Amino acid sequence: MSFITGVGLTPFGRHEGRGTLDLMSMAAETALADAGLTRRDIDGVLCGYSTTMPHLMLATVFAEHFGLQPHYAHGVQVGGATGLAMAMLAHELVSAGRVRHMLVVAGENRLTGVSRDGAMQTLAQVGHPVYEVPLGPTIPAYYGLLASRYMHDFGVTEQDFAEFAVLMRRHAMDHPGAQYREPITVADVMASRVIATPLKLLDCCPVSDGGAALVISAAPTAAPAVRVRGCGQAHQHQHVSALADIAQVGAAAASARARERAGIAISDVRYAAVYDSFTVTLALLLEALGFAGRGEAAARARNGEFSRDGRLPLNTHGGLLSYGHCGCGGAMAHLVETQLQMTGRGGERQVRDASLAFIHGDAGVMSSHVSMVLERTR
């Protein structure tokens, strides 16, 4: 058994002069204070990777920088799913009694610390080194291929994808830390420049500076508490050229494993946080996870089902598409927002019922998947 006892999140966007360790420290300090703990209470550290500080021992470098001497520390690298993979590993270690208070932290100055071309070149390396990378595709190009196939298979349109960008921006407008808070419309999305057909600029998450952290503990430090009820992973392919069917990625398997451990059905979920690197990512994942039928996710978004006051509130901080994406910390922002919602601290964003939450992260080109089920307890 484990509990998310503290969370910390910086604003995402431009942090001139702040590097990886600065952003991680900002988030970690907030998480410790939120949990009511001191540095001496932390006996474990899990650290996400940073493309702007690719140190081979980043976890212990951070521990030294932040003034920690943990009994357990290492770095984790699972692409965009790293934040959730770290949270799952922390849950397993805490539940096994190896660690009492695990600090999970990630941060990166990806916007100001590296050039646009440098960032694109790094991210493109998820492609196959022989069959994909030499042809020059970027991450948006890989997801453009998925979007084209999804449109072909299910009859959706580019306007359907735009619904998700509009929804995430609407949610971000109420979060002071979001990178983008100006309202947008479907027409605005359609008018934005093409990045990788059929994806346009507003179909893609921005590059951000930022940091996120959370503390996972063996027992609650405050009430109400957020308990990790079940987790699951699935890794069915790495490269898009090995993906035979976009409807059969690992999301469904990861979700099933997490729900089996938690003993719940998908219909029991009251709040959802789902990885949204691109609008097509969100459409594919919502359907694979069972929150919408095939080809139906956009229509449900248009009808308000995923709005803050809808049937299943989704990414109420604005998600990667509008809160921003700083690497490993991007998906961790989903976790932070979920814990705030579950403890009634969402402020203007607070939903009616976040008693049982489902979180899902994806990495690569729909390659690695991590699902988590959280419940509020008293």
Please give the tally of structural domains in the chain.
1
- Which residue has 């921003």 as its token pair? 324
Evaluate whether 362 touches 275 at the Cβ level (below 8 Å).
yes
What does the pLDDT read at residue 247?
Answer: 85
The tokens for 259 are 């729900």
Q: Is residue 42 part of a domain?
A: yes
- DSSP secondary-structure letter at 204? B
Within 10 angstroms of residue 176's Cβ, the number of other Cβ atoms is: 9
What does the pLDDT read at residue 325?
Answer: 97
What does the pLDDT read at residue 301?
Answer: 97
Q: What is the pTM of this model?
A: 0.96
Q: Is residue 159 part of a domain?
A: no
Q: Is residue 172 part of a domain?
A: no
- Return the half-sphere exposure (C-beta side, CA atoms, 13 A cut-off) of residue 238: 10
- Which residue has 């988590």 as its token pair? 372
Q: Is residue 91 part of a domain?
A: yes
Q: Is residue 170 part of a domain?
A: no
| CATH number of 89's domain | 3.40.47.10
Q: Is residue 49 part of a domain?
A: yes
**Amino acid in position 371:** S
The three-class DSSP label of residue 313 is coil
Mean per-residue pLDDT pooled into runs of 10, the chain (378 residues): 98 97 98 98 97 95 97 95 98 97 97 85 86 92 96 96 98 98 98 97 97 98 96 95 89 98 98 98 97 97 97 98 97 98 97 98 96 95
Q: Is residue 100 part of a domain?
A: yes
Q: Please give the residue range of the domain that contains residue 25.
A: 2-114+208-217
What does the pLDDT read at residue 378?
Answer: 81
Q: Is residue 46 part of a domain?
A: yes
What does the pLDDT read at residue 117?
Answer: 79
What does the pLDDT read at residue 181?
Answer: 98
What are residue 63's phi and psi, to 5 degrees? -60, -45
Evaluate whether 74 touches 353 at the Cβ level (below 8 Å).
no
